[in-house]
Structure 1
Amino acid sequence: MSTVTRRVETVLPDTGTREWWVLFLLAPVALIGAVLLAFPTLVYDRFVWQYLWGPVVADAAGQPVTHEGIRAVSGYNAVNTVTYLAAVVYSLPGLRAYLDALNVSFDTRLAYGFAPIIVAGGAMRALEDIGLLGDYAVWFITPSIYFVVTAVTVLSLGVGALARDRDIGSVPSTVGLVGSVWAVGAVGWALWYGLSTTAPLRLWVPVATTGIALGVTALYYWGTNFVDGTQLRHPLFLLAVFGQTWDAAQNLIGVTFLGYSPKLVITNFVYQATGFSGSTFVLKLLVTGGIVWYLADAKDEMSHTWWWLMTFFIGAIGLPMGVRGSLRMMLGV
């Protein structure tokens, strides 16, 4: 544990206590509320609207929108990218405390139980891109979809804990079942739509993207034979490599063959700067490899809970993007 972390924990209430939860949940609300009251026009119009909420409204409307003369366009930008990342990082202590309260084991089964819900989130985002969600579209656009997926996950964990305590199930199996039903339904809806239209259905796209991801993951596993790879073969690392490579593969296929551009700010900047269609793929491989190597080396030094959350997070931010991109390109959206 770092010196900074140790000092912070000595000041804050014990994790999971009532006082800690009040501080964790209300501190951001109080801070944002105070800033809004002090600088309403600057904070809402020039920050929240222009970079956070405006892009959501524009995405749902399918065109740029204007509020108080300030134009907002759909998609990621540097501000909302950093803001969303900060929100995810801030949520990790709360997730840890919630799982601890439910007495949930941070193991491989739980990570793979979570995976279908994450896949379902990516598929729902693709359904919104296609225009199939109607008035509910705004709930499945970034960042709204994160709250929806989080709510489903939290409820599934609670139901799973009840099932475990009554000896009628387990937490990973309950979460996995909920996610699998949701994911199959969402992907099935996309396929049904594709088959019911006259537009060409590019089934080769998801086959190619998942094939590339599986191939790279297999190569990664094989490559660990040439180093001290016991730690590197951990199933969570395989999930992380697969998730990130799936996202990289859909970028590679889209940019190289179908005329798409990377959606994220950083990857699009690298692509525009290099003009190389495989830039995102290479960048993802290098960054993922470096992070995995660091986490493998730090596994025995870090808290198991924090190590698990960080490692799972790496795969969790790649999986939904791979699903979304594959489905969009399959349907020509």
Structure 2
Amino acid sequence: MGIAEVFQRYFIDPIKYNQGYNIVNTLTYALILGLASLGVYKILKKLNIKYDNAFFRALMPYMILGAFGRALTDATIIPRTYLTVTPGIYILVFTITFSALLITHKLFEDWQKVFLYFGWSLVGIEGLLLLFNIDKVDFNLTVLKYFIPLATIALITIYLLSKKIWLVKENSYLFYAHFYDATTTFVGVDFLGYWEQHVVPRYLMELTGTAAVMYLLKFAVLIIALYLMEKLEESESDKELMDFIKMVMFILGFAPGTRNLLRMLMGV
């Protein structure tokens, strides 16, 4: 099999025919994400941009921007192209976000506010797109009947775990984000007939017969990753790099969870 055939089979066809992920593209995308994150980290450090609460808040609308845009694509409000579905939409939103960050940082003294407001204005445009195409959406509020109680149980579970496990206590926002994502997957797959696109979660769901396994998977991955990161920090590794990685980890939980929830609410 030639390079062109491999690329077609493992990268183009899964997007074109909505086949989900496979081992090859999953590992490739993970590698690209890692390298891109490291590159962004080095640029932001050179610009002396700190990863404080204000910066984190300023990023929130851009996380919602990608999730909302992906849901609007599923609802056929935004045309389905290679740039409006995964992984293209991640590249598109990253380009918008990073460009806005660099431009506002260079031109404005109070750049974080401008960056924040610009992000929310883009989300507002998506909201208008939904409003103007409301006839294309068949809202399904039944989702909330499952989501609200399960999300509440998940949040309480994390709170109780934070009383017993130090890593959970110190990184509770990461567990909240990923349990939120796990809840949307659980609701979608077990109660509403959706299917899981990612390789490992799909295998575990088939093995156990329930998407509730996502809670255990998320918890195990986070605990192992955070434990290793703590060990690296103790060996005098760059604490700012660890904080940046945690920010990326949060995005990887919050953004897909928001896309899942919006998609289900739109009934698509």
- TM bucket normalised to smaller: 0.7 to 0.9
State the AA in 2 paired with 1:220.
I
Corresponding residue for residue 53 of structure 1: 12
State the distance in 1 between where 2:230 and 2:124 align.
33
Give unmatched runs, 5+ long, in structure 2.
none
State the distance in 2 between where 1:210 and 1:90 align.
37
State the distance in 2 between where 1:98 and 1:77 align.
31
User: 2:147 matched to 1:203?
Assistant: no
Q: What's the CA shift for 1:246?
A: 1.8
Contact kept, 8 Å, 2:168 with 2:175, in 1: the verdict is no
Kindly tell me: are residues 132 and 280 of structure 1, through their superposed partners in 2, closer, same or farther at Cα, counting changes over 3 Å? same
User: 2:256 matched to 1:321?
Assistant: yes
Q: What's the CA shift for 1:312?
A: 1.1
Q: What's the CA shift for 1:88?
A: 0.3
Kindly tell me: are residues 159 and 327 of structure 1, through their superposed partners in 2, closer, same or farther at Cα, counting changes over 3 Å? same
State the distance in 1 between where 2:60 and 2:2 align.
39
State the AA in 1 paired with 2:15.
V
Kindly tell me: are residues 198 and 132 of structure 1, through their superposed partners in 2, closer, same or farther at Cα, counting changes over 3 Å? closer
Give unmatched runs, 5+ long, in structure 1.
1-40, 60-73
State the distance in 1 between where 2:74 and 2:64 align.
15
State the distance in 2 between where 1:208 and 1:174 align.
37
State the AA in 2 paired with 1:263.
Q
State the distance in 2 between where 1:104 and 1:198 align.
40
| Equivalent residue for 1:239, pick from 158, 164, 173 | 173
Q: Which moved more, 1:244-253 or 1:173-182?
A: 173-182
Q: What's the CA shift for 1:327?
A: 1.7
User: 2:28 matched to 1:83?
Assistant: yes
Q: Which moved more, 1:117-126 or 1:291-300?
A: 291-300
State the distance in 2 between where 1:90 and 1:277 align.
30
User: 2:97 matched to 1:153?
Assistant: yes
User: 2:142 matched to 1:178?
Assistant: no
User: 2:37 matched to 1:99?
Assistant: no
State the distance in 1 between where 2:185 and 2:153 align.
16
TM-score (norm 1): 0.70
Give matches, 1:31-42, under 5 Å.
42=2
Number of residue pairs matched? 267
Corresponding residue for residue 248 of structure 1: 182
Once the two structures are superposed, residues 17-55 of structure 1 have per-residue CA deviations (whole angstroms, 9 ceiling, x without a partner) of: xxxxxxxxxxxxxxxxxxxxxxxx71111x211111232
State the distance in 2 between where 1:210 and 1:317 align.
21
Contact kept, 8 Å, 2:162 with 2:172, in 1: the verdict is no
State the distance in 2 between where 1:277 and 1:127 align.
24
User: 2:210 matched to 1:269?
Assistant: no
Kindly tell me: are residues 177 and 329 of structure 1, through their superposed partners in 2, closer, same or farther at Cα, counting changes over 3 Å? same
State the distance in 2 between where 1:89 and 1:100 align.
16
Q: What's the CA shift for 1:99?
A: 0.6
Kindly tell me: are residues 112 and 302 of structure 1, through their superposed partners in 2, closer, same or farther at Cα, counting changes over 3 Å? farther
Contact kept, 8 Å, 1:232 with 1:293, in 2: the verdict is no
State the distance in 1 between where 2:154 and 2:65 align.
23
Corresponding residue for residue 13 of structure 1: none
Kindly tell me: are residues 205 and 186 of structure 1, through their superposed partners in 2, closer, same or farther at Cα, counting changes over 3 Å? farther
Identity %: 21
State the distance in 1 between where 2:121 and 2:150 align.
25
State the AA in 2 paired with 1:88.
L
Contact kept, 8 Å, 1:251 with 1:281, in 2: the verdict is no
Contact kept, 8 Å, 1:157 with 1:174, in 2: the verdict is no
Contact kept, 8 Å, 2:178 with 2:254, in 1: the verdict is yes
Give matches, 1:57-72, under 5 Å.
57-59=16-18
State the AA in 2 paired with 1:97.
K
TM-score (norm 2): 0.85
Corresponding residue for residue 241 of structure 2: 306
Contact kept, 8 Å, 1:156 with 1:174, in 2: the verdict is no
